[in-house]
Amino acid sequence: MKSACLDTHGVVWYLSRPKRLGRSALRFLREADAGRVRILIPAAVLVELVLLEEAGRNVIGPAQVEALVSARPNFEVLAMDLRQALELTLLRALKDPFDRMIVSAARVAGVPLLSADERIEASGLVETVWT
């Protein structure tokens, strides 16, 4: 089954402002809703959402992600593991620690990353899908 990782912006926009999603990313997510694509949400996304919420940013929280994963079997949280941690050593070109963790999750899983982040796309470290 075709799979992709979804970054933090993608999760937030999918759950709260789907019109902000890129056309190609939205296609992946609709395919997942139809049961034809698997969407992986790196655990780092949940940590970033908690920290954004604590900083007063009006974003969705882990409870909404839990509800998403519970309601849609083709969405799953991807736990951080040793392989992902080791992959971080190869991603020093990315300065944001959450970008590094999310990209490492996609690379270890061997799937593209649904992301609008121009720095990630420009890095060439992972295939990105958005527009």
Domains along the sequence of the chain with CATH = 2-129 (3.40.50.1010)
**Vertex 122, ends 105 and 89: CA angle to 5°?**
40
pLDDT of residue 4: 98
Helix residue spans in the chain (DSSP H):
8-16, 23-33, 43-54, 62-71, 82-87, 97-109, 118-123
pLDDT of residue 89: 94
Query: Would you say residue 49 has pLDDT above 90?
Result: yes
CA separation for the pair 19, 38 (Å, rounded): 21
8 residue type, one letter: T
Q: List, as one string, the DSSP characters of 46-60.
A: HHHHHHHHHTT----
- 58 pLDDT band (50/70/90 cuts)? confident
Angle, helices 43-54 vs 62-71, to 10°: value is 140
Tokens 């993608």 sit on residue: 10
CA separation for the pair 104, 85 (Å, rounded): 8
- 94 pLDDT band (50/70/90 cuts)? very high
